[in-house]
Amino acid sequence: MIHMKKKLGLFIILAIFTLGYAAGCARQPSDDDKVLATVSNKSITLKDFKSRIAKLPSYYKNIVEKNRKRFLDETIMEMLFYEEAVRQSLDRDREVKDVINEARKKILIAKLIKNEVEDKIKIGEDEAKRFYELHKDDFKSQELWRASHILVATEKEAGDILNELSKGASFEELARSRSMDATAARGGDVGYFRMGQLVPDFEKACMKLEIGQTSEVVRTQFGYHIIKLTDKKEPAIEPYEKVKQAIEEELKRKKRSELFDKLVLNLKERYGVKIEEDVFKSLEALNEGKKAETK
């Protein structure tokens, strides 16, 4: 029975995408409607077929557009299955009716929520800008560091490199020729990073440096580093245009939650909700008893 319900559930989902087709069959076709295929006494017009494709999710639509013949075959197969199911009176089967009723209930609930919540979410430009002005600190970028390094296997090698640097050798050239890190090809450039992205000892060394300054030998689990701080960006408030989409999404999320809670509250008041606490407590006690038995 569970297996059958899974199959029926899948069929219901597929059937949702065919609602437009069912409506198309009920229309009186115009003169320019061409019949694409016929199953028993039911026709699939070109207009119906295109409409059915248009109602598919974009991912599936792209697949179908590349193989319309297969989709037509599947449409015909679905109609054949449906005709045979009705002939066998499966539409009057109790289990089928239960599954259909559950699907119908979920579709109606989804439509209600769309009408009463999703369709009422409107975010104006003034509202988004006002939120930005009131929460500017939330849009402050983090402090960033940029560094280059030379990584070697021994402390002696690192000391030798420091000595060469003190005599005017190029940091970038030494990184290319002596560093065993993947950044060697870039002259040792690590790029910009925030605190917490690199190993702690490396970051601590960077924080002590001024731009253009080179560190002493720094040891980490990777080996021995000579680090040069090449840039530093102070925290700054992101411009409105850069965070506008994030603000709108946040405001939509809040409005969605507010409208949903309001809808639930109104429905509770309209239809009356009463939970029998004594009965609920007995249910909880029964559940606790079952847990104790399994221990």
End-of-domain residue from the set 233, 259, 286: 233
Sorting pLDDT into bands at 50, 70 and 90, what band is 279?
confident
Q: What is the mean pLDDT of residues 170-189?
A: 96
Mean pLDDT over 91-104 rounds to 95
- The per-residue pLDDT for range 120-166, each reduced to its tens digit, is 999 999 999 999 999 998 998 889 999 999 999 999 999 999 999 99
Is residue 190 within 8 A of residue 198, CB to CB? The reply is: yes
Give the position of tokens 């006494």: 41
Give strand ranges (E) for the chain: 35-39, 42-45, 144-152, 189-193, 214-220, 223-233
Number of compact structural domains in the chain: 3
Q: Has residue 292 got a pLDDT over 70?
A: no
Over residues 167-176, the pLDDT tens digits come to: 999 999 999 9
Residues 85 and 165 in one domain: no
Same domain, residue pair 43 and 106 = yes
What is the chain's mean pLDDT, rounded?
A: 88
Name the percent of the chain lying above pLDDT 90: 74
Domain encompassing residue 68: 2-116
Same domain, yes or no: 89 and 194: no
| The token pair that represents 98 in the structure block | 């239960």
Q: What is the pLDDT of residue 219?
A: 96
Residues 132 and 271 grouped into a single domain:
yes
How far apart are the C-alpha atoms of 271 and 276, rounded to whole Å? 16
